Amino acid sequence: MRTLDICSHENHERSKTAIMGVLNVTPDSFYDGGRFFNVDLAVMHGLELIDAGADILDIGGESTRPGSIPIDAKEEIDRVIPVIKILGEITDIPISIDTYKSEVAETAIKYGATMINDISALRFDEDMGDIAAEYDLPISLMHMQGIPRDMQVNPQYRDIMQEIIYFFKERMDFAIEKGISEDKIIIDPGIGFGKRTGDGIEDNCTILKRLRELKSLNKPILVGTSRKTFISNICNESSPEDRLIGSLATVAIAVANGADIVRVHDVRETKDVVDVVSNICRR
């Protein structure tokens, strides 16, 4: 199983942005919930994402959409481990475990995961930092106000990018104190997680426009905009099914403004966008 090498790149901007394919083994995720809630279907979709050009697979067993209800670690493990085990045996693509629970992360690592994607930035489980340090794998720390259940209930900011940068400085210091290698930390500004959208206020657009400000932290930047609600609010498309073109536009902006990884559902279409924008902007 290959590990993610993005953290080793000097100045943390690859010649081409890496594509992280989303594989949700859940019944209730906002876009693809239930589609791959079966081991065989999930494995098949994982292979399709790889064939389409994914550089990383991000496998998750709990929906963290706005208003979602948490599940326990055992249920999450039961959902993701059979998929990780099979994909780990038949492919060498890096696998990220999308979880904020240390028990889930450690089990996934034992079966082949080589990255942790923690939406809580080590805040929801006091043992997650210890697991990340012990196994010395890349870990993505995401910014979020509140928790998934209430994160979209009246989020407030004075200067969103400054507040995100302050948050990451504190979280990075915490991670390093826990023993996580500084060169294993990835940062994710958390598009759609506790951000204002609609009524003329679009924090997510501000983040994409000002994304390069995060380069001051000297860490790889992960951006996940795929089919999220703010795209509907801009384009007046009510269903996630109708957000592909808007999603690809946000990916283009993210890549142009320095994203090192983009997390997406639509890998094949995204690959063309990444190839073109990288060739224009990163020569």
Question: Do the beta carbons of residue 211 and residue 189 sit within 8 Å?
Answer: yes
Q: How far apart are CA 203 and CA 241, in angstroms?
A: 22
pLDDT of residue 263: 98
CA 197, distance to chain mean position in Å, is 19
Rounded distance between C-alpha atoms, residue 57 and residue 263, angstroms: 9
Residues with catalytic function: 228, 263
CB-based burial of residue 187 (10 Å sphere; 0-12 exposed, 13-18 middle, 19+ buried)? buried
pLDDT for the residue numbered 1: 57
Q: What is the DSSP letter of 69?
A: P
pLDDT tens digits, one per residue of 128-182: 999 999 999 999 999 999 888 888 888 999 999 999 999 999 999 999 999 999 9
Which residues, at least 6 apart from 89, have a Cβ–Cβ distance to it below 8 Å? 112
10-residue averages of pLDDT along the chain (283 residues)? 58 75 82 70 96 97 85 95 96 97 98 97 97 98 90 90 98 98 97 91 96 97 96 87 95 97 98 96 78
Query: Measuring CA to CA, which residue among 118, 116, 73 is closest to residue 95?
Result: 116
Answer left, alpha or beta for residue 62, where phi above 0 means left and psi between -120 and 50 means alpha. Answer: beta
pLDDT for the residue 154: 85
Name the pTM for this structure: 0.93
For 123, 138, 180, 268, the CA distances from 131, given in Å and listed in that order, are 13, 11, 9, 33
SS3 89: helix
3-class secondary structure per residue, 180-245: CCHHHEEEECCCCCCCCCCCCCCHHHHHHHCHHHHHHHCCCEEECCCCCHHHHHHHCCCCHHHCHH
Domains of the chain: 13-277 (3.20.20.20)
Quick one: pLDDT at residue 2? 64
H helix or E strand, kind and range, residue 246 = helix 244-256
